[in-house]
Structure 1
Amino acid sequence: MPTGLRVLTVRQKPGNRSKGLLRAGPLVFPCALGHGGISANKREGDGATPLASMRILSGYFRGDHFAAARRTRLGMAPISADLGWCEVPDDRNYNRPVKLPYPVSHEYMKRDDRLYDACLVLDWNIRPRRRRCGSAIFFHLARPNFTPTQGCVAVSARTMARLLPLLSQRTTLKVLR
């Protein structure tokens, strides 16, 4: 595998709208997609993965569960118990990290299911933010059997550990059809 990756490409697996194939250089890995498949018209709550080219901005990790996240050129912050991500379109912090407790609906970043043990923030709907166009679109760890996400792209912990040293803020994740 090359020393650094500029592009990761994701395509839907034939015959299954919520499973995909992620290409990293010459290698291909299975991945999970949103239960709504891939959409060119992403909306909050639709469960779709956006059809888009998204830079990897930064990430979060659980040092107690996923030490491999320390081996990357990305800016990675530890996940604390009070870290959340706002998902309410009319809130001033929509699609932003928030400190918990937070008064409106939000994602808990320190999850028991370990999906966010390594969680990379994609630049979907970050700048500019458009209300109701989707929040918390991450590149994170997959559930067993790659069951669907809420719109994110997810890979196995082993794949993430393999990719992290090759990723930087210059890396783009392209979701294609």
Structure 2
Amino acid sequence: MTPDDLVVTPTGLRFGGRRIPCTIGRGGIRADKREGDGATPRGVHRIVGMLYRPDRMARPAPWALPIGPRDLWCDDPAHPDYNLMTGAPFDASAERLRRADPLYDLVILTDWNWPFAQKGRGSAIFLHRWRRPGCPTEGCVAMAPEDLRWIAPRIGYGTRVIV
């Protein structure tokens, strides 16, 4: 581990000399992550992107990309675009990235099961805002919005997320 790593521990996320409260998936941490289990996958993952809502916040880092009104993330294991960003209209199951709530105003993407997704291993693991402290995710790592905004300009493409 290096000081530049984001390290998810039982007591929170360690990064930049801070311990940041966070929540993980409702299924806990699992080495054998599967689609729909709600688990956060154990391992070393890399940051591969950052998305943000330009209508709600300034660009959090120079390499962050805006989330547009038609942006989706395919979560259908049977579709060729499984675990990839796509756009509406779309003929398969996909999660809307431009949500009415603020959960995805800032999304940090990891390389979990990406870019060549294996069917059934689960789609995207993001770092994003939590609903509230202690509220589990579907497998992502979530934290307070001010902590997420603090982290965003301090990481880069390839930063490691160790779970």
TM over 0.5: yes
Query: Which of 90, 95, 107 is the equivalent residue of 1:102?
Result: 90
TM-score, structure 2 as length reference: 0.93
Q: Name 2:161's counterpart in structure 1.
A: 173
CA contact (8 A) 2:30 2:40 kept: yes
Report how many residues are paired. Answer: 161
Aligned residue for 2:6?
8
Partner residue of 2:118 out of 124, 130, 139: 130
CA distance, structure 2, for counterparts of residue 12 and residue 43 of structure 1: 21
Q: State how far apart, in whole Å, the 2-side matches of 1:99 and 1:10 are.
A: 31
**Correspondence for 1:117:** 105
Q: 1:72 aligns with which of 50, 61, 82?
A: 61
In 1: Cα distance, 2:4 partner to 2:138 partner: 25
AA matched with 1:49:
T
Q: How many percent of aligned residue pairs carry the same amino acid?
A: 38
* Structure 1 vs Structure 2 CA RMSD: 1.3
1:148-159 matches, cutoff 5 A? 148-159=136-147
3-state SS of paired residue (1:107): strand
Match of 1:18 in 2: none
Shift of 1:63: 1.6
Do the aligned partners of residues 103 and 128 (structure 1) sit closer, same or farther apart at CA in structure 2, a change above 3 Å counting? closer
Alignment-derived partner of residue 34 in structure 2: 43
Aligned equivalents of 2:57, 2:138: Cα separation in 1: 22
Letter in 1 for 2:4: R
TM-score by length of 1: 0.86
Tell me the equivalent position of 1:81: 69
Structure 1 residues 164 and 174, CA, compared in 2 at 3 Å: closer, same or farther? same
